[in-house]
Structure 1
Amino acid sequence: MCGRLGISRASYYRWLAAEESPTAARHRELTEHVKVMFDSSDGIFGHRMVHTKLAAAGIEVSVGTVAVIMAENGWAAKRMRAFKRTTIPSDPDRVFADLIGRDFTSAAPGTRLVGDI
């Protein structure tokens, strides 16, 4: 296999026996912390909020590192839609009485005139 890849056997075995670097260990540890914070928010927090929560928990990490970790793992914040109120009840003082009792039939034209806005 080493011959096909164009590398020496010694390089392969050196790579195989290599220990995890301190930087890689820190990155793996931070990934676990970011995952816990992201999952605790049900996927709503973005990288800035995750960074804020990690800083509050005493974990020192930069915003950029959190953003890179989230991008590597495909974790993205869910965007919340703004609440828009569609039905607004009118002022009770401006509600008009139903004078025809919702009976819109009439015996002669022009005797019951109704309208809506």
Structure 2
Amino acid sequence: MCKVLKVPRSSYYRWLKDPEGQRKRKYMELDEKIRDAYFAAKGRNGSPRLAKDLQVSGTPVSRTTVAYHMKEMGLRSK
């Protein structure tokens, strides 16, 4: 199967051990933090202020990343 799909065997076995992946888990954790900060501010803060709040709390994140995740989740500031 790996030969047909031209995928290294090591990648296939890595995927078997961790089908979700580290990047997806990291993004899911970030989504949760953004959602918590958004609702803590009662939906008043946009991406610049949420990014600063997350940076103060110890999560290194940029404004553009927060804006992207907010757009994906359908969150908009009031």
TM superposition score normalised by structure 2: 0.75
Q: How far apart, CA to CA, are the structure 2 residues paired with 1:62 and 1:19? A: 27
> Counterpart in 2 of 1:71?
71
**RCO higher in 1 or 2 (8 Å CA, sep ≥ 6)?**
2
Letter in 2 for 1:39: F
> Counterpart in 1 of 2:51?
51
Q: Deviation at 1:52? A: 0.4
Q: Percent identity, please.
A: 27
Q: Which has the higher helix share?
A: 2
> Secondary structure at 1:34's aligned position in 2?
helix
Q: Deviation at 1:64? A: 1.1
Q: How far apart, CA to CA, are the structure 2 residues paired with 1:75 and 1:32? A: 12
Which structure's CA Rg is the greater one?
Answer: 1
Summarize the alignment of residues 2-17 of structure 1 with structure 2, pairs less than 5 Å apart. Answer: none
Q: Deviation at 1:36? A: 0.4
Letter in 2 for 1:42: K
Tell me how large the CA RMSD over aligned residues is: 1.4
Gaps of 5+ in 2: 1-11
Summarize the alignment of residues 2-41 of structure 1 with structure 2, pairs less than 5 Å apart. Answer: 19-41=19-41
Runs of 4+ in 1 over 6 A off after TM superposition: none
Q: How far apart, CA to CA, are the structure 2 residues paired with 1:63 and 1:56? A: 13
